[in-house]
Every structure is written in C-alpha cells, then in structure tokens.
Chain A
Amino acid sequence: QQQVKQSPQSLIVQKGGISIINCAYENTAFDYFPWYQQFPGKGPALLIAIRPDVSEKKEGRFTISFNKSAKQFSLHIMDSQPGDSATYFCAATGNYQLIWGAGTKLIIKP
C-alpha cells in the first residue's frame, strides 16, 4: 500500500519541551523517509531525512528515530522553540514520488 499515516493531527508543546510526531508506512519498498516543515504561505522545506539502514539520525535539535520492523518512524524536536511552530509532514518514497502524511500542526507555547 502507498499510504503514510501521521499522528497526531495537532500538537501543543511548552517552550523547551520535546515535540514528538509519529508516522507509519506499509510499503516495504520505501527506502527514504524525509520530514518537511511548512510555514503558512510557504512551500514545504526539507528538514531531515533517514534511510532504513539507520535507526536514528540527529541534526541539531531534530532527531529521526526509525523502526524498520514496526514500519514506523518519528520526529523528535528537542528544546522546542516558538519558531518551530509550523506544520510538519512525514513522507516516504522508493523513487522520486514522495508519498506524504497528512501533516501535524505544531504549536509551541512560550
């Protein structure tokens, strides 16, 4: 199946807290899992990505955790800041065609 399921739909986190967004996929042919960040009125911007041969990837405050056997991956935002307030999309692909989750609207409360 092509679907990528993302949760939660919306998330409110206090400044300095950890934001966690989860995604699950079905198609075992997927071999690249990016996360995109989208601000209102802007296009999505690539944030961080992982391949299934790695269980975790960290870039600054952003970490992807990947569980190949469970076909799940998640985005963790450490020390969340008000500037992180945006909509986050997970995606998956085995070629050029990105299959997107429905998005998570993240609000960081100061």
Chain B
Amino acid sequence: GAGVSQSPRYKVAKRGQDVALRCDPISGHVSLFWYQQALGQGPEFLTYFQNEAQLDKSGLPSDRFFAERPEGSVSTLKIQRTQQEDSAVYLCASSGRLDLSYEQYFGPGTRLTVT
C-alpha cells in the first residue's frame, strides 16, 4: 500500500478517441490533484478534489476534459475526442492533510500519445 498508482502507464489513442485515465491515491488522503506535464516542462495544474468534491477545475484546458472522484478515493480523468495537443504525461497527486495540501505525493503518470 505504498504510494499513488496510475493506470494505464502508457496509452496510445487515435485522434478522436475517448480515453480514461485512472488514479489510486494513497489510502486516506483527502486531497487529489491532476496535472498535465508536457515533454521537458514542469507539471501544469488541471484540477483539485477534496474528498468527492471537485473544488477547482480551472486548469482543465477544454470541455473535452472531465474528472471525477465519486467516492472520494479513486479518480478518473476522461478526455473526449482526443487531439494531438493532448499528448502529454498526466500526473496524479494526493495529499493527506488539508492544512498541508501543498505536500503532494505523485504517481508515476500516464503517458498519453495521440496519433
């Protein structure tokens, strides 16, 4: 029961396909974050959950991106009608304390390639 896990680790999608990326946070962690990391860049914030509530989705690049965490644990990031510019590593992070929500523990990421 170690760290944050993500699946799949690699995903190749044809342009226009829908994809779903899964994140299993550290057990008991209240906060969950999704980031997008382009090659050679720092992660960019996508969205933030506190338990099952999505408190901030300001970083989602378009309405093709949708995230959910229905039971306050596992989260899914869904991308509809994928485009080439969606190719990136998608990172999930979790944090155990609301007052320390900046102490985030990251999963290994899902590398999405859109062809």
Contact = CB atoms under 8 A, between A and B. Distances in A.
B42 A95 contact: no
Given A34-B102, A43-B109, A96-B101, 16 more contacts: A43-B4, A43-B91, A43-B108, A44-B43, A45-B106, A46-B103, A49-B103, A95-B101, A96-B31, A96-B48, A97-B45, A97-B48, A98-B45, A98-B104, A102-B40, A103-B42
Contact of B42 (A42, A45, A97, A101): A101
Interface size class of A (residues with CB under 8 A): 20 to 34
A93 B42 contact: no
Interface residues of B, number: 23
Interface string B42-75: 1111001000000010000000000000000000
A43 B102 CA distance: 16
Interface string B91-115: 1010100000111111111000000
Interface in A53-110: 89, 91, 93, 95-103
A32 B102 contact: yes
A46 B31 CA distance: 16
Interface string A21-44: 000000000001010100001111
A17 B54 CA distance: 45
B102 A103 contact: no
Contact of A103 (B33, B41, B93, B107): B41
16 contacts: A34-B103, A36-B106, A42-B108, A43-B108, A44-B106, A46-B103, A46-B105, A89-B43, A93-B102, A95-B101, A96-B33, A96-B56, A98-B43, A100-B44, A102-B42, A103-B41
A37 B104 CA distance: 13
A70 B63 CA distance: 39
Nearest to B48: A96
Q: By CB atoms of chain A within 10 A, which of B31, B44, B45, B95 has the most? A: B45
B102 A96 contact: yes
Contacts of B31: 96
A15 to B, nearest CB: 25
A76 B92 CA distance: 28
A45 B104 CA distance: 8
